[in-house]
């Protein structure tokens, strides 16, 4: 397999759009450029990570300015179409209320599309195509958005973050956005790391530009979880890019299962000694990211969580519940809280009243108070947690209002 090239470029000076554009263009150039990858008249899909309605620069979503520069570079190659496409996370895929297009607006990505005159597509609502992954681990056949399937060139534009299931989320995992909502949920039921590999067997991006200007560590539940790394990372081998990003974040690449498995399946190279790094060395750019599990233990470890294969929709919403109870001054009551999520094989006897969260766990609804939904909103989970713990809901709602109005 050819030696992959991954570039690391620092955003010099103050984080202005001009400096950012210089860094993105330099990183793309060092990694081999897009000139030979985009044929005139072709269709190019730009796939950012706009997982939820967060503002650009928050670390939760791809910086809209990075998406803009990548789109501009693509347009300079005289393609037939450039499309910014995303399918936001489970819980943010309700048309007209909280969907991908809303998330693109909040992030500033929609403004980019309008400014450049490129199309936007909600991949969650796109026509579906059934595809087959040869030698699949867990997803031999699945549906993807037609726009993504028919694109001639896919440029993946993720943001570096920790993740509750996969350790990190970067290029490989960002491709989950081409899956419609039910397929996203299915990846969790079948085994997320292996499902990500199967997805990339057929939908591996042609080039990856990583927004590492600001990333997220820990549980993404606190402003302090933002990590201003100030870098752009690029490469044609998404496995190599993810391996370099894992190292930059302080993770042992061999312990990031989906990256390791992708390399073993020859989707790319994850061995850092076999990757040519151009620009800044990994050692100079690295900064340890606090893993999700470590932060969760420190912040919410007193609560009991019984789960199996719960998706990030429910896992993310229960973090909101922890945050709300802590904000309201009930952190000491977390030790009395038991949450049941996903599809656990069994639920051992629990003290007090457990909170059964989400549709997947409804088989256990008679064990405690049930919160329906897929996923249920964090405030609904919080209300049922208050019920289970005998906490005054009004005082918690007051704290929630203060938190969101801060």
269 and 309 in a single domain? The answer is: no
Residue 377's pLDDT is 86
Note whether 131 and 193 are same-domain residues: yes
pLDDT (tens digit per residue) in 276-330 = 999 999 999 999 999 988 988 887 778 999 998 888 778 878 888 988 998 899 9
Does residue 296 lie within any of the structural domains?
A: no
Mean pLDDT throughout 47-57? 95
> Residue 45's closest CA among 9, 12, 86, 13?
86
Host domain of residue 75:
5-285
Per this entry, what is the length of the chain?
406
Separation of alpha carbons 24 and 35, rounded Å: 15
pTM of structure:
0.87
136 with 207, same domain?
yes
- Inter-residue long-range contacts of 399-403, CB under 8 Å, 24+ positions, other chains counted: 399/324, 399/327, 399/328, 399/329, 400/324, 400/327, 400/328, 402/327, 403/323, 403/324, 403/327
What does the alpha-carbon distance between residue 239 and residue 156 come to, in Å, rounded to a whole number?
12
Kindly report, residue by residue over 118-161, the tens digit of the pLDDT. 999 999 999 999 999 999 999 999 999 999 999 999 999 999 99
- Residue where a domain terminates, one of 259, 285, 311: 285
DSSP 102-164: HHHHHHTHHHHHHHHT-EEEETTTSPEEEEE-TT-SS-SEEEEEHHHHH-SEEEEE-EEEEET
Question: What mean pLDDT value characterizes the chain?
Answer: 93
Same domain, 13 and 143: yes
What's phi and psi for 276, nearest 5 deg? -85, 115
What integer pLDDT is reported at residue 233 of this predicted model?
A: 98
Does residue 334 share a domain with residue 220? no
Say which CATH number the domain at 46 has. Answer: 3.40.50.11440
User: Residue 245: pLDDT above 80?
Assistant: yes
Q: What is d(CA 107, CA 105) in angstroms, rounded to the nearest whole number?
A: 6
- pLDDT for 11 beyond 60: yes
To the nearest whole percent, how much of the chain has pLDDT over 70?
Answer: 98
pLDDT digits (tens, 9 = 90+) for 28-41: 999 999 999 999 99
- Other beta carbons within 10 angstroms of residue 342's beta carbon come to 19
Residues 265 and 348 in one domain: no
Instruction: Give how far Cα 45 sits from Cα of 41, 155, 170, 295, Å.
Output: 13, 6, 17, 35
Domain end marker among 285, 310, 339: 285
Let me know if residue 371 belongs to a domain.
Answer: yes
Kindly state whether residue 294 falls inside one of the protein's structural domains: no
E strand or H helix at 24: helix 17-30
Last residue of a domain, one of 238, 256, 285: 285
Pairwise CA distance, residues 311 & 64, whole Å? 26
**Cis bond before residue 323 (omega within 30° of 0):** no
Q: Which residues pair with 340 in a beta bridge?
A: 306, 356
Indicate whether 39 belongs to any domain. Answer: yes
Q: Give yes or no: residues 272 and 193 share one domain.
A: yes
Domain CATH for 393 = 3.40.50
pLDDT of 83-127, one tens digit each?
Answer: 999 999 877 776 666 799 999 999 999 999 999 999 999 999 999
Q: For residue 96, what pLDDT is reported?
A: 65
Measured CA to CA, the distance from residue 363 to residue 384 in angstroms comes to: 17
| 170-184 average pLDDT score | 95
So what's the pLDDT on residue 383? 95
pLDDT, residue 336, reads 93
- Whether residues 235 and 309 share a domain: the answer is no
Q: Are residues 68 and 217 in the same domain?
A: yes
Determine, yes or no, domain membership for 161. Answer: yes
pLDDT for 298-309, tens place per residue?
877 789 999 988
Q: Are 345 and 241 contained in the same domain?
A: no
Confidence of residue 45 (pLDDT cuts 50, 70, 90): very high
Helix axes 393-405, 378-389, angle to 10 degrees: 150
What does the pLDDT read at residue 164? 85
Confidence (pLDDT) at 218:
93
For residues 206 and 344, give the distance between their C-alpha atoms in angstroms, rounded to a whole number.
38
- Record the tokens describing residue 139, joined without a space: 């997803």
Whether residue 406 is predicted with pLDDT greater than 60 in this model: the reply is no
């Amino acid at each position: 397999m050819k030696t992959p090239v991954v570039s690391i470029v620092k955003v010099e000076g103050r984080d202005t759009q001009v400096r950012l554009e210089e860094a993105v263009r330099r990183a793309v150039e060092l990694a081999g450029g897009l000139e030979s990858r985009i044929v005139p008249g072709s269709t190019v899909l730009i796939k950012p990570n706009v997982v939820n309605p967060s503002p650009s620069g928050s670390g939760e979503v791809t910086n809209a300015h990075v998406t803009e520069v990548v789109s501009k570079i693509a347009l300079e190659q005289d393609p037939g179409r450039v499309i910014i496409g995303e399918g936001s996370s489970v819980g943010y895929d309700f048309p007209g209320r909280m969907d991908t297009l809303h998330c693109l607006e909040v992030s500033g990505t929609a403004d980019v599309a309008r400014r450049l005159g490129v199309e936007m597509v909600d991949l969650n609502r796109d026509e579906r195509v059934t595809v087959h992954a040869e030698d699949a681990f867990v997803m031999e056949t699945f549906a993807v958005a037609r726009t993504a399937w028919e694109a001639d060139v896919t440029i993946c534009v993720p943001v570096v973050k920790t993740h509750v299931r996969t350790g990190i989320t970067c290029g490989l995992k960002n491709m989950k956005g081409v899956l419609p909502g039910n397929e996203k949920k299915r990846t969790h039921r079948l085994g997320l790391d292996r499902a990500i590999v199967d997805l990339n067997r057929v939908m591996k991006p042609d080039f990856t530009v990583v927004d590492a200007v600001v990333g997220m560590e820990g549980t993404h539940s606190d402003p302090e979880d933002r990590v201003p790394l100030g870098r752009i990372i690029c490469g044609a081998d998404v496995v190599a890019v993810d391996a370099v990003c894992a190292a930059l974040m302080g993770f042992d690449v061999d312990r990031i299962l989906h990256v390791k498995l992708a390399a073993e399946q020859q989707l790319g190279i994850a061995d850092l000694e076999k990757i040519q790094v151009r620009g800044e060395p990994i050692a100079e750019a690295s900064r340890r990211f606090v893993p999700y599990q470590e932060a969760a233990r420190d912040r919410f470890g007193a609560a009991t969580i019984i789960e199996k294969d719960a998706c990030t929709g429910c896992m993310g919403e229960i973090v909101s519940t922890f945050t709300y109870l802590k904000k309201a001054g009930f952190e000491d009551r977390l030790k009395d809280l038991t949450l049941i999520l996903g599809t656990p094989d069994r639920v051992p006897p629990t003290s007090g009243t457990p909170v059964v969260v989400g549709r997947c766990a409804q088989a256990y609804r008679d064990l405690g108070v049930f919160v329906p939904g897929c996923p249920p909103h964090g405030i609904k989970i919080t209300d049922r947690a208050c019920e289970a713990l005998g906490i005054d809901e009004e005082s918690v709602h007051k704290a929630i209002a203060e938190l969101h109005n801060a």
